[in-house]
Amino acid sequence: MKGTKKEKRKTVRTSGKKRSTAEPAAKSRDKSQDARKLVQLLQVNQVELEHQNQELRIAEEELEASRNKYVNLFDFSPIPYFTLDMSGVIREVNLCAAKMLGVDRKRLIGRNFVAHIPNEDKNVFNSFTRAMFQSAEKQSVKLRVIGKDKREFYVAMEGVKSSDTLEPELRCQIALIDLTEYKRLEDAVKKQSEERDELNAGKE
């Protein structure tokens, strides 16, 4: 009887030892599996990130190419173009516009455009710029612009509010159409007509 009890106690101790050694092994296997899953997940995420980075690089290259194309079209356009902010300050100007005013465009950028408008036309210009920023429609006006050496140009000015969402502030783009020669011819014809009328009146 005593031997039987001792054998039972030994069996219990032995089985307890087996359980105690089996549990750490199971935990170790679980940790190893978790680690493998984590590594696989990280590898998948890395592949996705590399793919997204590649798409981002392609998009940036396309955006840069598009911007360069826009810059070339803007700079070398035969029509004078200006970009103004809401205060009327010149933010961008193309080569043709700088040539028309006879001022280097580096000196034009940061200058208020109203400095090139005669006093008599300032109110017309201010009303024109207000209308541009208050509406999405293109605005037009005819007025005079002062260039280098006080040279005056009679121009048709067309402008529209910029829809560029990348800019932090509202801007407008304006184009100038030089009508100086047309205006000169128109005034000459008008003067001749008046002189003819006066001559005819004198004859009568």
Which structure tokens are listed for 107? 């000196």
Does 18 have pLDDT greater than 60? no
Asked if 176 contacts 145 with a C-beta cutoff of 8 angstroms, the reply is: yes
pLDDT (tens digit per residue) in 173-203: 999 999 999 988 988 998 888 888 888 877 7
- Token pair 């170790």 is found at 28
Task: List Cβ<8 Å contacts ≥24 apart for 99-108.
Answer: 100/147, 100/153, 100/176, 100/178, 101/145, 101/147, 101/148, 102/147, 102/148, 102/149, 102/151, 103/147, 103/148
Q: What is the pLDDT of residue 26?
A: 64
Which structure tokens are listed for 173? 């783009």
Decide if domain 78-189 falls under CATH 3.30.450.20. yes
HEC states along 127-158?
HHHHHHHHCCCCEEEEEEEECHHHCEEEEEEE
Does 100 have pLDDT greater than 80? yes
Q: Mean pLDDT for the chain? A: 81
At 163 the three-state DSSP class reads coil
Domain residue extents for the chain: 1-75, 78-189
Which structure tokens are listed for 148? 């280098």
Across 53-77, average pLDDT: 67
Split at pLDDT 50, 70, 90, the class of 39 is confident
